[in-house]
Structure 1
Amino acid sequence: MKIKAIRYPTTLDKIDDITDDNIDIFVTLDDGNQYTLVVSTLKNIGTLMNEKGYSEPGWAQQLIIVKELNEELIKIAVEAYAAEADGLFLKVSFLATMFEMEELDQALERLDRQYNSEEE
């Protein structure tokens, strides 16, 4: 997949420390699909981890990690993720937050039945 556009709901000039923060981005791929992702610095992950001592559920599944928050690095990182396995990471990361628990449980049950029938 190729990147058609990257949009920033918060402009980068509003960030106090581009080496210790995270931002949402909207990525549009050449197939027309749009994904919301989070770009974070490694230092920011450390800051968040130091607050509780562990990664809080939900905040890490969509992270793309860069050295600092600047358009060039973000573009390079997002392009690499989009190119890998036809955009699989971008799609899975986005979808991870879109399902209700019941839907996930049903999908896991279907997979379990499928694998069990293949073993017989």
Structure 2
Amino acid sequence: MSDATIEDELAQQADWEAQEAIRVATADLRAHLNVNDCAGENAQLHRMQRAAESWIGAYLGTPLADLDPVPDAVRMAVLMLAGHFYENREASLVGVTAAELPFGVVDLIRPFRVWSM
């Protein structure tokens, strides 16, 4: 892949993050997943990151864009949930016993949940 193509994709990624108020940088997600900066992965990682931020914002009762600054525990939860989406790309697992880990995503974000009356 040419340097121009990689530069174009990185510029597009920066535009996405600016337009959508992404609160955790895709570069941080790549580092968390130990994934190299390759051209085909960035759009997919970005979708997983947006989905994780959206789910967490819905759980909290406030969009992450409204959190300034975003607490480290919430950032870690975004990375963990996006990592889960990356590792488990289908809606079901076959032949695997899975269990939720203690101190997972919900445990990290629960203290920041906004309860409405």
Greater RCO (CA < 8 Å, at least 6 residues apart): 2
Q: Please indicate, yes or no, whether the TM-score normalized by the shorter chain is above 0.5.
A: no
Which has the higher Rg, Structure 1 or Structure 2?
Answer: 1
Higher share of residues assigned strand: 1
Normalising by the residue count of structure 1, what TM-score does the alignment of the two structures yield? 0.30
